[in-house]
Amino acid sequence: MEGKRLELFIDGQFDQRVLFTANKIINAGYTGRNQEEVRKHIEELKLLGVPAPDQVPTYYPKPAALLTSDESIEIADTDNTGEAEYVLLIGENETVYVAAGSDHTDRKLEGLNNILKAKQMCPNFISKAVWRLEDVETHWDDIIIRSWVNGHSEAAYQESKLSAMMGPRELIERVKPLVAGPMAGTVIYSGTVGTLGEIKFNNRFEMELVDKVRGQRLYCGYYLKLINWFAGC
């Protein structure tokens, strides 16, 4: 299996470079510890026509080639949105790195109950800076996950502490039985938290993980550009 090579930087330091080969992606969903938060996300997706899952959490595979740190993508329409997530990268010898990311999704396909295909239609975005899980695990629940849109960083689109979501070790253990072969090279997207308003298309999506204990943040952001150079679109 040919993997996707990523150049990552521990704590955002350029002298702490990690070359990581991603072989597979798992997108988790509805992973909230707080069932009210899970129901909220289910209900806001139902407003977009996305049917409620038969059971939660949910897990969807995705090719590693769709992993990117690009700062923009071209899209054919506005039926897609980003989601703030923490990302786990499983390395050799069970080393685990944490990144910030977005599971960008085609909402129209999702509404047609073809969630697997909806996940394949868009890339998964990931930060270039990472943390070692062992460096943040003791205060994991206090890390803030936050997103904003269209450059308005003062107005959160999503905001919560990671205490609202399934923890990283449990998430890894739940994914293990679903993956054939070694876990090294697996990239797991955590699922997201509910929005503070309605889910809608925006031309820029940004998110961060904020660790106030260590005074650090992981950032992921990108532009969405409609294809306007082709007369048929």
Number of domains in the chain: 1
Residue 161 lies in a domain: yes
Residue 232 lies in a domain: no
- Domain of 72, CATH number, reads 3.90.850.10
How would you write the chain as a 3-class SS string?
CCCEEEEEEECCCCCCEEEEEECEEEEEECCECCHHHHHHHHHHHHCCCCCCCCCCCEEEEEEHHHEECCCEEEECCCCEECCEEEEEEECHHHCEEEEEEEECEEHHHHHCCCHHHHHHCCCEEECCEEEEHHHHHHHHHHCEEEEEECCCCCCCCEEEEHHHECCHHHHHHHHHHHCCCCCCCEEEECCCCCCCCCCCCCCEEEEEEEECCCCEEEEEEEEEEECCCCCCC
Residue 179 lies in a domain: yes
Residue 33 lies in a domain: yes
Q: What is the pTM of this model?
A: 0.92
Q: Which residues form the domain of 59?
A: 4-226
What is the per-residue pLDDT across 104-157, written as a single tens digit (0 to 9) for each?
A: 888 777 767 677 777 788 899 999 999 999 999 999 999 999 999 999 898 899
Residue 77 lies in a domain: yes
What is the per-residue pLDDT across 208-230, written as a single tens digit (0 to 9) for each?
A: 999 999 999 999 999 999 898 88
Residue 233 lies in a domain: no
Residue 158 lies in a domain: yes
Residue 44 lies in a domain: yes
What is the per-residue pLDDT across 32-70, written as a single tens digit (0 to 9) for each?
A: 887 777 777 788 777 877 777 888 899 999 999 999 999
